Structure 1
Amino acid sequence: MAASRLWNNWHSDNNTCAAISQIRLMRDTNRLQEMEVFLAVVDEGSFSAAALARQMTPSGVSKMMTRLEQRLGVTLMRRTTRKIHITDEGMDFARSTRGILAALDQAEREVGCGPVAGTVRIASSSAYANHILAPILPELLRQYPELEVELVIGDGLVDMGGQPIDLAVRAGPLPNSAMKARSLGISEVITVRAPGSLEGSLAFAYARRDPIWREGGSRVRATDGNTIAALALHGNGTARVGHFIVRQELVTGQLERVAGSRTVREEFHVVYLGKAAALPARVSTVIEHLVHRGRVDR
């Protein structure tokens, strides 16, 4: 009955971590603790060594093993003055027990109360992914070796509720929605061209919400800001781009700012669905990394 109530509370309150905390408390008094202590005896080879590993007394371990055998109605181990011999039934029980505890640990990891592990799917523009995310990703992956990142690249908006996307990096004004947002800073949007470039402007091939991107009469258009910057670099025309995309090319002189053009600003955010406190650890960890290391105005 207690387990049933926990399961119902888990789903009705959407408070998974709290439910798992309750399960962890139950492990001190219920069958899960007996399983853990039994495996300690199997692995350590004696009650005294198992007691040391579990921070119990040898007599406490002995009494718990006696209760376990009485409840199961089977002999799990034979005791002599020198050693403990695990019976065939005990070995079968040990294998099953390891599977049960491993499944519980996996469940805890999946809901975010365990280690940072699993795949985080990020929707991002090519510009942000190439110039901001790529350089800071190795640090995160080294720190969390069980973490995997999958990038969904595109400048268009992604339906986070209808696709398996954990978070998205978005530029410009945010629509009113159920999404939560954390700032990634403000990007300077500048106008650049390559020395000797063709006349005319480069522009986006689709309508963007922010009026700062509205251009007219463009001979070359693209659906990706990173591609527009590359087109400008090769002399195809004048382009309005985020400063962080062309920072290096401005230093080397491959691109130059157009004299008299005005600088505008564009906000970047990492957005996600749901409450921050209920996010899996894998997702919240990536968000914090982006907020602290992935700003566009560094």
Structure 2
Amino acid sequence: MRDVNRLQEMEVFLAVVDEGSFSAAALARGMTPSAVSKMMTRLERRLDATLMRRTTRRIRITDEGAAFARSARGILAALDQAEREVGAGPVAGTVRIATSSAYANHILAPILPALLRRHAELEIELLIGDGLADMGGRPIDLAVRAGPLPDTAMRARSLGVSEIVTVRAPGAVEGLLAFAYPRRDPIWRAEGARVRASDGATLAALARHGAGTARVGRFTVREALAEGRLELVPGSPSAGEEFHVVYIGRAAALPARVSTVIEHLVREGRVDA
């Protein structure tokens, strides 16, 4: 039986070729650099060929690697054509979406039922995580990303700009709440935070319970602000963060199931609504 991961290996290899490094390919594919490295080692072992020479700064593709890249592009182009031919078919199958817990809970959860009612054969799998993480080697159709996009060939559609607000509960403990991992945008910097968490939804929940002061997307605390459980901190700087739905992997010839979900997110899943 053929290994179903062969197509993914080809896609990741081409990402390395196009991006020039494991780290850049990892960003483009929604993986970690170590996962990309392991996959490329496995590919070379299976082919019994050296496809690339690794240095501390760059990846140099060998003649064998260049030949394999040409063949892989042809195979993926043929697959694109096959998908294009069935793209107008029924909206059926599974769409895997990588997204943050905050977006999943506050935006996706309310808007998915209508989509699922319209398309009885559509299934959704949500892969939740705020930070860049390896999704266990599983294919991802779409990703919802917040903040600046990496400089890659990925396609993206805007989901609006989320207002970043600084909030605390009445009588909250003194101290800051912050993300437990580095964020690309400096608006999230919080020196000396007393409590850190790996996702925005948890930070918002901690703020609601009075554990400190947090900077969060307004869409995550809209109800708590309206109900008086949270209050805006006077004098805090204003900021915004743009959200995008990103096409991970090949951008051309999207199946109907994927393009349908994208259009639903762009229309109903905005963070500034």
* TM-score (structure 1 length as normaliser): 0.63
Verify: 1:154 aligned to 2:129, yes or no: yes
Q: Which amino acid aligns with 2:82?
A: T
Q: CA deviation at 1:148?
A: 0.2
Verify: 1:206 aligned to 2:181, yes or no: yes
Write the distance in 2 (CA, Å) between the matches of 1:261 and 1:191.
6
Q: CA deviation at 1:10?
A: 9.3
Which of 242, 246, 250 is residue 267 of structure 1 equivalent to? 242
Q: Which has the higher helix share?
A: 1
C-alpha contact (below 8 Å) 2:174/2:213 kept by paired residues? yes
C-alpha contact (below 8 Å) 1:122/1:152 kept by paired residues? yes
Q: CA deviation at 1:243?
A: 0.3
Aligned to 1:15: 81
Aligned to 2:271: 296
Q: Judging changes above 3 Å, is the alpha-carbon distance between structure 1 residues 237 and 11 closer, same or farther for their aligned structure 2 residues?
A: closer
Write the distance in 1 (CA, Å) between the matches of 2:247 and 2:188.
25
SS state at 2:89 partner: coil
Write the distance in 1 (CA, Å) between the matches of 2:239 and 2:122.
37
Q: Which runs of 5+ in 2 are unaligned?
A: 1-73
Q: Which runs of 5+ in 1 are unaligned?
A: 1-7, 21-107
Write the distance in 2 (CA, Å) between the matches of 1:212 and 1:169.
19
* TM-score (structure 2 length as normaliser): 0.69
Aligned to 1:144: 119
Q: CA deviation at 1:274?
A: 5.2
Aligned pairs for 1:29-108 (under 5 A) are 108=86
Q: Judging changes above 3 Å, is the alpha-carbon distance between structure 1 residues 186 and 161 closer, same or farther for their aligned structure 2 residues?
A: farther
Q: Which amino acid aligns with 1:124?
A: T
Q: Which amino acid aligns with 1:185?
A: G
Aligned pair count reads 200
Write the distance in 1 (CA, Å) between the matches of 2:94 and 2:121.
9
Write the distance in 1 (CA, Å) between the matches of 2:253 and 2:245.
17
> Between the two proteins, what is the percent identity of the paired residues?
70
RMSD: 2.1
Q: CA deviation at 1:219?
A: 1.0
Write the distance in 1 (CA, Å) between the matches of 2:76 and 2:193.
55
Structure with greater contact order relative to length (CA < 8 Å, sep ≥ 6): 2
Write the distance in 2 (CA, Å) between the matches of 1:246 and 1:118.
33
Verify: 1:278 aligned to 2:236, yes or no: no
C-alpha contact (below 8 Å) 1:205/1:222 kept by paired residues? yes
Q: CA deviation at 1:14?
A: 3.4
Aligned pairs for 1:174-189 (under 5 A) are 174-189=149-164
Aligned to 2:104: 129
Aligned to 2:89: 114
- Which of these two proteins has the greater Rg computed from alpha carbons? 1
Q: Judging changes above 3 Å, is the alpha-carbon distance between structure 1 residues 233 and 10 closer, same or farther for their aligned structure 2 residues?
A: closer
Q: CA deviation at 1:114?
A: 1.3
Aligned to 1:242: 217
Write the distance in 2 (CA, Å) between the matches of 1:148 and 1:127.
21
1:149-169 deviation per Cα after TM superposition (whole angstroms, max 9, x unaligned): 000000012468954110000
Aligned to 2:262: 287
Verify: 1:230 aligned to 2:205, yes or no: yes
Q: CA deviation at 1:120?
A: 0.3
Q: Judging changes above 3 Å, is the alpha-carbon distance between structure 1 residues 15 and 158 closer, same or farther for their aligned structure 2 residues?
A: farther
Write the distance in 2 (CA, Å) between the matches of 1:244 and 1:270.
17
1:238-270 deviation per Cα after TM superposition (whole angstroms, max 9, x unaligned): 000000000000000000000111110000000
